[in-house]
Amino acid sequence: MLNKLFQIKEHESTWRKELMAGLTSFFTCSYIILVNPLILRDAGIPIEAGVISSIIISILGCLLMGLFANAPIILIPGMGINAFFSYTMVQSMGLSPQQGLAVIMVSGLVFAVIAFTSLSTKLISAVPSSLKHGITSGIGVYLTFIGLQKGELIRANPSTLVEVGNLASPVALATIIGLMVTLILFARNVKGSLLIGLLSTACLTIISGTHSALSSEGISIAAYKTIFLSGQFSFITIPFWIATFSITMIVLFENVGLLSGMLPDVSKFPKALRITAISTILSGIVGTSPTVASAESAAGIAEGGKTGIPALVTAILFLACIPLLPYVGYIPENAVAPILILIGALMMRSLAEISFNDFTEWVPAFLMVVCIPLTSSIAEGIAFGFIFYPIMKLAVGKWKDVSVILYVCAALFLCNLFALPLFTH
């Protein structure tokens, strides 16, 4: 029955590959259980409630993706979007957490209208190949940048913004050795190389004695009741609609970019996009910031995942984490660094698909590649590419090469970039 549901043979895969991909995906994205609640706390959501909502939506999103889209995509609360929710929508725009959750539900409904109609296919066909590959490559650089930070191979510098970390520190050394192990095993096509690299890095870090476990502040059903189904719809206020427009742009184009860049089988795109839209609506109901097709899904895909089994395995492991929450924090943060660096490198291969003979094609893609990591925002990085693509085409008289939909998207991105600061403080 399961073979028929997931069509493993048709995908030229095996249960071993799919299960290993699921384990790798989970360990790569499990940090969200602790990190997301900490960010939501700054929006006024109790951390105990944030832990529950983060786990519930991750389980629901992964189950839906695995069972109905049969895709190896992991849906978890998006990093960057959670910061937008807490620091822009709530702290800067003055929305209450409950109003913010209502915004997420409304934006999810708009997203669903696009995903469940022909608008989604028209949108995808309107985006030129160079921009699609630019998104993939930009996300790759972003993942590598995050991996280097988590591995303490680079660190912040007030003068130059970033500098080389202390490579003699135990954490950095563990990361470097773990990266070597991961790259060597992957180059030799060893099954489970990413998971072995992750566990190797984790063990070395723990043995060094420098790792102190993170810990959540527990589970509280009483606290969770304060955010479950607590959305307050303020339809007559301008900030509510500005926030709705902004969050819709973010979830729509970030998911479009991530799915088009990661899905092994592009024919699964329509179903996967619909599931992400449904998961966005559920995020507001459950009480958390929107989910996205996690960039860390690429780790499971690189491990050989082609079906929905990795998503299903991840959902089961998120469920198993509930009684084990006090121990989840023992996984060192730098353990995922080698995987993120390798996945970033693999995603950079998309640059080879961009035509560097046409200045108007590769420059907008280049802007995406640099702006996604440097702004720490996939959505804003995408915006630069979408805005400058039609500008470049207009400059050389090739305005007919740009679809009407792309002109509209560029205008919307431009309006969002300039309008948002007017309603923040």
**Could you tell me the pLDDT band of residue 216, with boundaries at 50, 70 and 90?**
very low
Q: Looking at residue 65, what DSSP letter applies?
A: I
Q: Tell me, what's the pLDDT at 2?
A: 66
Is the per-residue pLDDT at 107 higher than 90? Answer: yes
Half-sphere exposure of 220 (CA within 13 A, CB side): 15
pLDDT tens digit string along 346-359?
878 888 888 899 99
In 3-state terms, what secondary structure has residue 375?
coil
Is the per-residue pLDDT at 99 higher than 90? Answer: yes
Which residue, among 52, 45, 40, 49, has the nearest Cα to 84 in the 3D structure?
40
Q: Mutual orientation of helices 337-347 and 170-187 as an angle, nearest 10°?
A: 50
Which residue, among 213, 227, 214, 223, has the nearest Cα to 48 in the 3D structure?
223
Q: Tell me, what's the pLDDT at 241?
A: 87
pLDDT tens digit string along 83-96?
788 877 888 788 89
* pLDDT, average across residues 138-149: 85
pLDDT tens digit string along 285-316?
999 999 999 888 888 888 888 898 999 999 99
218's torsion region: left (phi>0), alpha (psi -120 to 50) or beta? Answer: left
* pLDDT, average across residues 185-197: 80
Q: Which H or E run includes 293?
A: strand 291-293
Give the tokens for residue 376: 């720490």
Better pLDDT: 413 or 285: 285
Better pLDDT: 211 or 8: 8
In 3-state terms, what secondary structure has residue 415?
helix
Q: Tell me, what's the pLDDT at 1?
A: 63
pLDDT tens digit string along 359-389?
999 999 999 999 988 887 777 788 899 999 9
